Amino acid sequence: GITLNYTVLRLVGVDPEDPLMVKARGTLHKLGGAVNSPHWGKFWLATLGVVSWDIVNPVPPEIWLLPDWVPIAPWRWWIHIRMVFLPMGYIYSKRWSCEETDVIRGLKEELFTQPHAEINWAAHRNSIAPGDNYHPKSSLLNTMNWFIVNVWNPYLRPNFIKERAEQWVSQQVDMEDANTGYADLAPVNAPMNTIVCYIRDGPDAFSTNRHIERLDEYLWVKDEGMLCNGTNGVQCWDTAFLIQGVFEAGLQNDERWRPMLTRALEYLERQQIRENCVDQEKCYRQPRKGGWPFSNRDQGYGVSDCISEALKAIILLQKVGGFPAVLEDQRIFDAVDTLLLYQNDNGALSSYEARRAGEYMEMFNAAEVFGRIMIEYDYPECTTACVTALSLFSKHWPDYRSKEIKIFINRATNWIKTNQRVDGSWYGSWGICFTYATMFALESMASIGETYSNSKISRRGCDFLISKQREDGGWSESYKACETMEYHEHPMGSLVVQTAFALIGLLEADYPHIEPLKKGIKLLMERQQENGEWLQEAIEGVFNKSCMISYPNYKFTFTLKALGLFAKKYPDVKVEL
């Protein structure tokens, strides 16, 4: 983190003698300098020409030539890793670096603890600061890297294989660009694809310049400064949750909000993905027709829970709220058809695709800073979203693929039951953390009629949440829980979003004791500002256990839902402030 942030600041013009830069450089040197950066950091420094490519562990594009039946073939990897190592392999194989500038010459002096010319780059391929080594490389991967660097690359790698691999990877990059309008999956592979186009097509090419135009979509500015989105926005995701929150609060019939909800419906209609990828099989993409992405249609990646939450929002608007039917039935059926493809063999749901390989793939995890990234995993959040969406769908279209949907829901909810931990909680992979996942799991149990009164699973989940309620009525959970997989309270104390998560889970499960619920609702009401908003508190989301994500709208959408559920369940109860 220090190396790349320092490098970026130097590239945008910050003086190396600025007090903050001096302090950062001192800390970096205490950690051994940039030679102890993790794999991806070394890749970027090599691309800039600050370090030799000899320091970068191999990313051979030849792996993309493996037959599909091979258990470690890249098409089996999780989509984010696939799309990162694709352009990374091309750039690594070319050993391309930027032209040297005064800033790069300066970085060569500033980032290291010994003279640049004296560094044995190859000796530092596996050097990494302990704090960055979240997922140490396996002995198998280290052995493979040694073989590629010392035997394959210098002695056995024929040019025709190298060139064929680079051509195939280049074609895969083009297919990714074409299927996303040059937005690409995420802000990690997008700049890498940009560099591939720059190397191959030149700085004036349409492909290069279109990439550069679209990179701006990943950046946003708030009170903390300029941050980077995990995708090119959260538009569909946030819109779907807001619509559901309005319905839970019973505000959909209020004329003040009908125009807003109409525009939200029209937005989701426009963002539905209407066709599968071009060359879908060739570029290893899952069918997406009828789905919704996390951000917008341009980005073009359907995600199981994004499809589900958008589908629920549209059904609520068109079938419950009496809004115009802007999506005809066939488009709803397309969404269901796609959603049914996401279920894994054990009944659970993953994110972008059904799982394609086993956990053995983590032996080849080269990223070092992330865990659980090589394959799709099972997620109670995604599983619940699909269960509740299909349950709502079946109420309004009971005859469409009814048998398959019934089996799907039964298998999914059975998996959720088996995924419950000993303490009654569920571990969350996309939000923080046990509070988040337990909310979703209790919602899925309620959708099949299992609540606190008749289900041991639901009762244990509720008891877990109640055990974590604080004296002031709120809940508090830190991002540390995601890293350690153990519950950690946040040092800030009770948090609005975490409190909303817990209340929603308890209310969905028909938790029978009102006093804990009233205390939680009171905290939400007390934290509301005069203008109706809630202030931003701690971070809410997570990615791959160690990368945290801000969801600024969660403090509105989930809080609105919690208040609405309580008001509907206890219409005559007044909470005194």
Catalytic hit among 177, 184, 305, 378: 305
Q: Find residue 302's DSSP bridge partners.
A: 293
Contact 284, 75 (CB under 8 A): yes
Burial of 130 (0-12, 13-18, 19+ CB in 10 A): exposed
Helix axes 159-180, 189-201, angle to 10 degrees: 120
DSSP 32-51: T-GGG--HHHHHHHHHHTSS
Rama region for 202: left / alpha / beta (φ>0; ψ in -120 to 50; rest): left
Give CA–CA dist 196/202, Å, rounded.
9
Give CA–CA dist 121/114, Å, rounded.
12
Closest C-alpha among 236, 253, 201 to residue 313: 236
Cα dihedral 287→290→296→299 (10° resolution): 20
Helix (H, G, I), strand (E, B) or coil at 389: helix
Rama region for 32: left / alpha / beta (φ>0; ψ in -120 to 50; rest): left
The CA angle 496-557-372, to the nearest 5 degrees, is 80
Question: Looking at residue 316, what DSSP letter applies?
Answer: I
Closest C-alpha among 441, 474, 487 to residue 460: 441
Active site residue 305: yes
Closest C-alpha among 24, 25, 53, 32 to residue 128: 32
Helix (H, G, I), strand (E, B) or coil at 349: strand
Contact 148, 366 (CB under 8 A): no
Helix (H) or strand (E) holding 194: helix 189-201
Cα–Cα distances in angstroms (integers) from residue 89 to residues 7, 105, 181, 301, 308, in the given order:
22, 26, 22, 22, 34
- β-strand 547-549 against 225-228: which pairing, if any? unpaired
Give CA–CA dist 565/524, Å, rounded.
13
The CA angle 233-321-385, to the nearest 5 degrees, is 45
Helix (H, G, I), strand (E, B) or coil at 336: helix
Contact 285, 334 (CB under 8 A): no
Give CA–CA dist 514/190, Å, rounded.
49
Residues annotated as part of the active site: 305
